[in-house]
Amino acid sequence: MTAEETNGRWTNLAITLGTLLVVIFFWKSLQAFVTLIITLGILVFIHELGHFMAARLVKVRVEEFALGFGPKLFTVMRRGDTDFTIRALPLGGFVNMPGMMPDEADIPDGLASKPPAARALVFAAGPGMNLLLALVLLCLQGWAIGTPRSQEVYVGGITPSSVAQQMGLQEGDRILKVRGVTITGIPQLQDLLNNGPAEPTPVLVQRNGEQLTLVGTPRDMVSGSHHYRGLGIDTFEGTGPRVPFTVSVREGFADFVDSFRELGKIVRSGKLAQNVGGPVAMYQITTKTVKRPFLVHFLLMCQLSISLAVFNLIPIPVLDGGHLLLLAVEVVQRRRLTPNTVKVAQLIGLAIIGVIFVLIMYKDIALGGGPK
C-alpha cells in the first residue's frame, strides 16, 4: 500500500469518526439535527443542481454529483457519464467536472476548455439557483401555507435566570396583554417593554386554554451591540391566514427584496460579525424552529438559501465568486491566467476561508454566537 493510499484511509476514518461523534453529540435533540441536515441537504442539492445543469448546457462532462463530503457511502445511480453519490459528511456537496484544475485546459469536454462566458455560467448557476429557490418559496408561502403577519405572539424561548423565568413564563405561552394593552404583534410588544417604565409589569398569557396574569419587572439587556429593556424571552408570531396567489407572489417578491435591504443595512452598520453564524448557530436556531409552526422553519430555509448564495458569491478564490473574479481578470487581460497564478490564488483563498471558518466556530462555541 502506498503512502498516499494510507493517508487517504486515515483521512476517511477520521471523517467517519467525526461524523459519528457529531451524531452522538446531537442525539438528544435528534429532531433538530435531522431537520437541519434535511434543510441543508435541500439547499446544497439545489446549489449543485445549478452547477450540474449549467455544465450540461455548455457540454461539460460531469463525472460525479455528490451530496456530502468525505468517503463515499454509496452510489445512488449512474446516468450517462455521471455518478450520483452520497458521502459521509452531510454538510456540503460538489459537482466534479474534468478541467477544474488549472493545468487541465486541454481536456476537450472539460470546463477549462470552454470560453469565459460558458465557465462563468457554470460558476454563477449554483448561487443563482439558491436565489431562485428562495424567491419561489417566498412567493408561494402566503398562498400555500399562510402569512407570518399574525396578531398572535408566542413565547418561543426563555433566557436562564431572566425575569421571564422568575415570573413563570413558559415556552408556548401566548401573550395576550401587557399593562392592559392587547398585543397585536412582536414590534408592539417590544415597544411596550423597551419604552415602558422599569417597574412591575402585568403580563396576561394564555396557557393550555387558561388565562394567567404574571408579573415581572423588565430589565436593561444587551444583545451584541443592541441595548434594550425586556423580560428575557424569544418570541414568534403565529401563522396568519392564506392569501390569494397574486397577493402571495407580490408579497413574496417584496420580502425577497427586503432581505437584501436588511443585509445592506447590516453591512453598512458594521455589525456583520454579530449577524454571522456557522453550523453550531444554525443548529441552535433549528432547535427553536422545530418547536414552532412550520412557517417559521420555512422562512428560515429561505434565509439560509439566500445566505448560501451570497456567501458563495464573495470574490474569494475557491468560492464561486472567486472563480468569477479570476474569469473577469482573464477577460480584462485577454489571456488565460497561468496555472501557477491560479494555484496561488486558490491557496490564498483556502487560507482565507479557513480563517473565516475558525473565527465563526469560535464565535459560535466560545462566545455563544449566532445571529443577533
Report domain extents, the chain: 27-146+281-365, 153-237
Q: Which of these, 67, 69, 98, lies nearest to 85 by C-alpha position?
A: 67
List the one residue out of 9, 123, 24, 126 whose CA is nearest residue 70: 9
* pLDDT given at position 6: 57
pLDDT of residue 372: 47
Helix (H, G, I), strand (E, B) or coil at 223: strand
When comparing pLDDT for 62 and 21, which is higher?
Answer: 62
Coil/strand/helix, residue 75: strand
pTM: 0.80
pLDDT band at 159 (very low <50, low <70, confident <90, very high): confident
| CB burial readout 331-350, b (16+ within 10 A) else e | eeeeeebeeeebeebbeebe
Highest mean pLDDT among 54-58, 73-77, 108-112: 54-58
- Cα–Cα distance between 88 and 186 in angstroms, integer? 41
Tell me, what's the pLDDT at 241? Answer: 86
- Percentage of the chain with pLDDT > 90? 48
Q: In terms of Cα–Cα distance, which of 337, 347, 349, 314 is closest to 102?
A: 337
Query: Tens of pLDDT along 92-135?
Result: 889 999 988 777 777 889 998 999 999 999 999 999 999 999 99
Assigned superfamily of 153-237 = PDZ domain (2.30.42.10)
Dist. CA 284–CA 19, nearest whole Å:
18
Q: What is the pLDDT of residues 21-54, one digit of tens each?
A: 665 665 555 778 788 888 988 999 999 999 999 9
DSSP3 helix / strand / coil % (the chain, rounded to 5): 55, 20, 25
